Structures are given as structure tokens and as C-alpha cells.
Structure 1
Amino acid sequence: MEIFETTLRDGEQQAHLHFTAVQKGAMAALFEELGVDVIDAGFPAASAVDLDGVRHIVDRTDAVRLSVLTRPIKKDIIRAKAALQGATHRSRIATATRPFDMMSASGIGAAQARRKTIEKSTRLMQEARIHFREVQYYVICAGSRDVAFLTNLCASVAEAGATHIVVADTLSTTEPDSFGALVRDIKAALPPDIVLGVHCHNQLGLSLANTIAGIEAGATQAEVTIGNTGDGGGNAALEQVLAYANYFAAADPRFANRCQTEMVAEVVDAFIACTGMQFSPNKPLIGDISFLIETGIHQAIPSDIMRHAFHPETIGRRTEITIGRHSGISGILEQLDKMNLRPRNINQQLLYQRVMHAAQKTGTVPNRKLGQIAKSLMAGADVE
């Protein structure tokens, strides 16, 4: 599975999320170190800032492949090639045509619209291949289109020169079973040398599941962003796809990748520093408290069971315990152990009561206060 990292282009389409050109270069360097296969460097025809961002990414990376998005216009393709000057040997263009086939529902009009989509798309691929060795065609709004037509369209653009075809669930209109079936049908219509990718949006929270379904159905490229960033519901999350590949699919060659997953936390921290964006504190894997445990039921899970759980160290994080109103005596004693303050031969019920009393005001008990409570009991005032 190749990782196509699109935070710096599609992720930046999220409202209020912006990078400077210098920040894009710095983030691209980190993505290359992480081990992604392709960096979506931007949309150079969109603005001078986007163009400058692509050039900074070229300057700050060495070997990772770089892709740029263009409109289906020759002048955009020429500008994209110029933006990637110095990285021609590792560059790719990604583009699509308008889905004319979606503009007429039935009859002669529908047939003409489908023919127009294929004709425009094949001409676009032919023009793009004049300037780029790698050409990626996006099948946008894939979940809302006729499957038989899409297989015909994909076979046509492959014959016209596309090297990569990406099935994009642009509007989050598919669920895993139907998305997997669609990818499987398109895969069967393509020559074996064509790379098939998936680009899944997250409006209904299914981007990870759909990405997994797509890879299992034969796609070999996954498009991702940090933290599900992107327009609307965002995209499949880089950290979630890598965590799934590492934990659930470690023995599945379809999910093997080059990424050093232990760098994920570092990359996310750099992203936050660049953008000022704050994720929900309990956002899976990357939220501030996603590995912070307060509840007694979780603090008391035996270690021989916990060893089967996902280890946050895999992505550069670690599990922490906090003591509060929802903690149990097991968690309190474990935390005191970590503080080298575990009291011996004391009334554990009294310890628990005092900790709960301390937690009434603020909900949690800082380690300093927890230590004071333990030391007061260890002093002998309440020895059993």
C-alpha cells in the first residue's frame, strides 16, 4: 500500500486551515522522513502562494514523489510542469474532467453526456502524458455514478495514458461493502500495470472503513491527511490508516507500507505548530487525552489483557493515568507506584475516600495532592 499524503493540498481546503509556502516545505520534509510515497504538493495554478508552496516542497525534499493538481486545461498542465522544475524525475500530475455523465439522468442526453465525459477525459490524459511520466486521473463522485459506465471510463483513460486512477468517494455516498465492490469492478476492468487508488471523504465517519475496503478490494494507494483534515467532513486520516495497518493488518501484505509510524506524533505536533489547529482532545490517536485514562474500569484491566491492545508508542504516544472521580483503588495504587509512593499496610478504603473527597472540587486529583494524601496515611495516622 502506497501512502499518498494530501494534507498540504486537499487538507488545506478545510475552512480556516492555511499553510505558508515555507511551512509547506518544512512539513513536506517531515512527510518524506516519515516515509510516505507521494506528497500532494498543491495546486500551482490556484494562486501565487500555491505555486510558491510547490517550489518550496521541491526544494525541501529529495526523493519522495511529488504530485500536483490541475484543472483539465493545457495552460494549467504547463504551469504544473514548471512548478515542479528540478523534480521532473519524481513528479506526477493529478487531474479530472467534469462528470458530464451526472448532468443528464436518462435517454439520449445521458448517452451523449457519458460519451462527452470519456472523450474529454481521454484527451486530457493524452495531453498530460506529453509532459508527465505519471498521470493520475480522479474518478470524482464515484459513489453516485453508474458502475458500468465508470468501468468503461476507467478503461478508456488507462488506454489513453493514465498511469494512476483514483476512485474518489467525494460526497461520502458509499459505505464499505458498496465501495469495495466498486473498486473491485474497476480493478477488473484495468490493465495490471495501472495503479488504482482510493480517496475517501469522512462526512459520515466512514473514511477509514472505506479506505480499508478499497485496499482489500485491490487498490494499492491510499490518499490521507493528518487528522481527517479537508473540506466538509475531511479525508481519511493518515494516523488511523497507519495504525490500522500496523495493528490489525500487520500480517497482510496488502497493507504493508514504508512509513515509520513512531514518527506520527512528531508530524502531528509540527502540523499543529504550523497551523494553530486544535483537534478534539479525545480524537482517536492524536487528541491530547486520547491515551489519558481516568476511569477505574480501564485502570484495572489486567496487564495480560492490556498487552493485546494497541500500544500508543507505535505512533510516538504513551498511555498516562490521571486520578479523579471516576478512578478506582487499583488506578490510585498504580499511580502511587509510578510516583514511588505506594503506601503499605494502610486502610485502602480510607485512601480511596480521601482521594474521592479531594476530587469533588475539580474532578481530578493532581499528583502533588495525591502524594500528600498518601504520605499522610503512611505517617501512621490511619494504619490498619
Structure 2
Amino acid sequence: MARIAQIFDTTLRDGEQAPGCSMNLQEKLEVARRLEKLGVDVMEAGFPAASPGDLEAVKTIAGIIKDCSVAGLCRSLEKDIDAGREALMNAASPRIHIFLATSPIHMEYKLKMTPEQVIERAVSAVAYAKKFCGDVEFSAEDASRSDPDFLCKVFGAVINAGATVVNVPDTVGYAMPDEFAKLIGYVKENTPNMDRARLSVHCHNDLGLGVANTLAAAAAGADQLECTVNGIGERAGNASLEEIVMGLKVRKDFYGIDTRIDTAQIYSTSRLVSQVTGVKVQPNKAVVGENAFAHEAGIHQHGVMANRATYEIMTPESVGIPKNRMVLGKHSGRHAFEDRLKDMGYTVEKETLDAVFMEFKVLADKKKVVSDRDIEALVMGAASSVPETYKLDRWVVNSGSALTATSTIRLQHKDGSFHEKVAVGDGPIDAAFKAIDQITGKDPDLESYELGAITGGEDAQGETTVKISWDGRFWNGRGISTDVVESSIKAYIAAINAMEWELSATDVAKGKREEAMKGV
């Protein structure tokens, strides 16, 4: 009988820490629900002590997720653990995840602590967390560059203090698969009371070996595998959930390991994470890339037509990519449209469904065929979920080789008032953005601007993703339209709305703290 490896997903914490991968609260909730549907055993919802917004996000997610554990990351500090306790108080199955570095370089230069002090701090933190939470995970940061005997000593001490999971992170992606497997085997054999805790691994991808190291560790006895959807994360990213899960499933004959993951939900989860973060999946990405099941070479096409197993070691259906798709157009009814959404893995509230179906009908009048990618873009547009401080009412641009680009933008404020400005720029997009800046009174830096077509063809929808920054903070915005200027304007307004919403929420939280301090 195959043993079960638990999947610990940290897309919402380690993944979101990657530059350009930030999500607002509603986007995090959507991803959390999808991860629950995917079947992860644990989702790390955030770092509660990092900011009031992160604490609130973890608390909100913990209150709605019922079918898997929700974890909050904490440094080995009582104030962090207190924040984690507050964030997880309503979780059906909470886990406090504590970390502390154990490698010589980290202890000397970052922590400025002796090995004995590190053990003492780790034990104290775990014992403190155990007072509030039965499930406590301890991570030895930079474990792959730590002394193995010291690592076993630390793990034995924290298990005695109440840790239920001990984690071996390859924090900087330094390990090689054979080397990492030996370390896992050594830890299992030499850690006192290892039978009382689950052994976990968390691998980064700095040398492109995150998945290889994770699978090697699983073969060596690790029974919790930490990863992110699409492999997003710090620097070169984390081990990719979809590659780990499908590696174990396709080669179950080799590993003899199962997971609880519903693999048919993998593709839709991957697309959701890509959409909300604005980080596109490379075409040749394993399992979920656009070319993962594409065959162009004639000999490959012939082989697949004769027997799919000649060149496909897994089917597209096994990861949630339908082989056959019903064509939807302007004559399609609501029932067919709703069925398609279900097939694509979307569960949409009635109010959102009504709005998306209306948008679908408008788009279907402009296009002969509405593709799944078009529908996906409509759903993501409707579910984008920060309150709209500003809404696009109308726009006009004038541009050409013989005249200066000019844009007139009219926005509706949430209070119902309308505001219109005219601006000139180096092109129609620049002019439009400057007019929006005049209306909103904001002048953020445009960090990135990406424009692409959702599908092929002259009638394709344009998809624009922008990232703006102000005072060292970043926000993403996304817009779609059959007109690329309009999609650009919508994306910029979405980013401005995200900035307005987060800044106002921060001001409210700051005001509450100041008010509370007056009574102290």
C-alpha cells in the first residue's frame, strides 16, 4: 500500500513574497478556496506579524477554510507567535509555523547567536506556541548548509518541546538531490523521538533543482512536501506543486507515494494564480505550460494519433485540461455557459455569474467564437475584488505620426461624482495614464507594463497587466478589452484602486492603534 505524503502549499506566503506577486485580500481568498478544492493538506496563509494587512488576511482565510489546515508563519519571537495566535483563532485546523536559522553562516552573521542560544530560543518559541496551538511546525532555516548533527540536536529538542512537524528547508537552493536525500535519511535515523513528528522539506529553485530535491527527499522518507503553485517564490522560486504531485502520480511505480491532491484541479489553479499575480507561466513549463501537451513535429503527431502514450506520459485531462471543448458564441445560452465555468473549475456566485454572462454576450457579439481563455479573463475581471474608488466612464485618444498624443479621460468616483481631465503624452497610453493621475491626485511610478492577446486572431481580446509603485510599495492591475488602449486604461485604474484601497485600510488600522494607545 502506498504511503501518503502531505502537501503543504505556501503560495499565499512564500509565493506572494516574490517581487510582483502581491495579492489583495479578495484575490487571496479566491486562491485559498481553490487550494482547498485542490486538496492541499496545509495552506500557509501568510506571515501575521509582517503587517496589519497580512494578519487580517490570515485571519479571514482561517475563518473560511474547513477542509485543510491553515498555517501562519512566525519568527521565534513571542510577539510573532501572539500575532499568529490572533490570526488563527477561528481556524478549524490551525498550525503555528516557527522558523529559526541553524547554519553557521546565518547564526554568526544574521542572528549573532551561538548554537546553544539557537537551541534555547527554538525550544522556548515552540513551547510558547504549544500553549495556544496543538499543531506546531519548526523550520530550521538554511538546514541544507547546517551541520547534520546539530540539526538533529535542534530537532530532537523542539520535538520534546511539542513540535509536531520539523522542516528541513533548502533555503537558498544549494543542495544536490543525492546529497539532500542523504541528509533526510540521516535526520530520520539520528533525531531523537523522530517518530513523534512529521518530517518536512521546503526546497528553493536557485539551481533549478527544487522539484528534484523534493522528490529525492520524498523517496528518502520525507512525509510533508512544501511547495507553491507554478513554483512562484523568492528569487528563482520554490518547488512547483504541480510538478511534484504529477511526478509522484506518473511515477507511482517508482516512488510508491500518493497525495490527496485532486489533479484535475491543477490547471485551473495554475491559471488563477497566474491571473491574480500577473506572473505568466512560461509556454514550456512542465504540466501547466501552453506547450505541455502540444505536438508539432510530424513524427510526434503521428505517434500520438496512433497511441497517445507514445509521447504523452500523462493525459491533459488528468491535470484538468479538457481534450474536447464545446464552442461558445453569441447564440449560446446561460446554461451552457454555466456548465463551461464548472468544467473549467470555477464556482461563481450568482451576482458575479450574472455580470460575467452579460460581459460574455457583449464579447460574443464582437467575436465569432469565445474561447476558454476569453471566459477565464472575463471571470477574473469580474472577481477582481478591491472596491472601485474610480470607475472608467469614457475615454478618447488622439494620436498619430504628425500630432502629439492627447487623451481625455472621464472617471466616476465611488461617491457618484464625475471627473474629467485632458493630458498629452509620448503616446496614447502615456497620455491616458497622465490624465488618470490628474484626476486621482496620485503620481505612482509605472514599474512594468505588459500587453498581450488572450487568444489568436484579429478579434482577440487584449490583456494588459501593469505594476505601479509608491513609497516602496507595489500594486498590480489588470484590464481586458478588444481595444488595447481601453485594456491599458482599465489595468491602470485597477492598480490605482488597489493602491487607494490598501492605503486607506492602512490609515484606518493606524488610526485604531493610535486611539487604543491614548487609553494606555
| 1:44-78, Cα deviation, whole Å (9 max, x unpaired) | 11112211211221233123111100121111111
**Alpha carbons of structure 1 residues 272 and 235: separation in structure 2 relative to 1, 3 Å:** same
Partner of 1:113: 114
CA offsets per residue over residues 308-336 of structure 1, 9 Å max, x none?
Answer: 7222221112579xxxxxxxxxxxxxxxx
Q: What is the CA–CA distance in structure 2 between the aligned matches of 1:103 and 1:289, rounded to whole Å?
A: 41
Secondary structure class of the residue paired with 1:66:
strand
The aligned counterpart of 2:278 is 276
Alignment of 1:159 with 2:163, yes or no, is no
Give the 3 Å change call, closer, same or farther, for CA 295–30 of structure 1 in structure 2.
same
Structure 1 regions of 5+ residues with no counterpart? 106-111, 321-365, 368-384
Give the distance between the partners of 1:251 and 1:201, measured in 2 at CA: 24
- What does residue 265 of structure 2 align with? 263
| 1:237 alignment partner, one of 235, 240, 256 | 240
- Find out whether 1:17 has 2:18 as its counterpart: no
Taking structure 1 as reference, are residues 78 and 124 closer, same or farther at Cα in structure 2, changes over 3 Å only? same
Instruction: Answer yes or no: is 1:312 the counterpart of 2:313.
Output: no
Match of 2:6 in 1: 2
Counterparts of residues 194-343 of structure 1 (less than 5 Å): 194-249=197-252, 252-253=255-256, 255-301=257-303, 303-304=306-307, 305-306=309-310, 309-317=313-321
8 Å CA contact 1:22–1:56 kept in 2: the answer is: no
Of the three residues 32, 51, 59, the one matched with 1:28 is 32
Is the CA contact 2:102–2:143 (under 8 Å) kept in the aligned structure 1?
no
Report the identity percentage: 32
Secondary structure of 2:95's counterpart equals: strand
Report the CA distance between 1:301 and its aligned residue: 2.0
- Shift of the 205–100 alpha-carbon distance from structure 1 to 2, 3 Å rule, reads closer
Q: 1:268 to 1:104 in 2, by over 3 A?
A: closer
Amino acid in the other structure paired with 1:271: V
SS in 2 for 1:70: strand
Higher mean displacement: 259-268 or 142-151: 142-151
Distance 1:190 1:86 in 2: 33
Residue in 1 aligned with 2:80? 76
Structure number with the higher strand fraction is 2
Deviations 1:108-158 (A, max 9, x none): xxxx82212211111111111111111111111112111121111111111
* Alpha-carbon separation, structure 1, partners of 2:82 and 2:225: 27
Which consecutive residues of structure 2, in runs of 5 or more, have no partner in the other structure?
325-455, 458-520
SS of aligned partner of 1:120: helix
- Change over 3 Å in CA distance of 1:235–1:82 after alignment to 2: same
Given the two structures, how large is their TM-score scaled by the length of structure 1?
Answer: 0.77
Residues 120, 231 of structure 1: alpha-carbon distance in 2 compared, 3 angstrom cutoff:
same
1:122 aligns with: 123
Q: Which is bigger in relative contact order (C-alpha 8 A, separation at least 6)?
A: 1
Change (3 A) 1:226 1:308: closer
Equivalent residue, structure 1, for 2:48? 44
| Secondary structure of 1:181's aligned partner | helix
TM-score under structure 2 normalisation? 0.58
Superposed CA RMSD in Å reads 2.2
How far did residue 298 of structure 1 move? 1.6
> How many residue pairs were aligned?
314
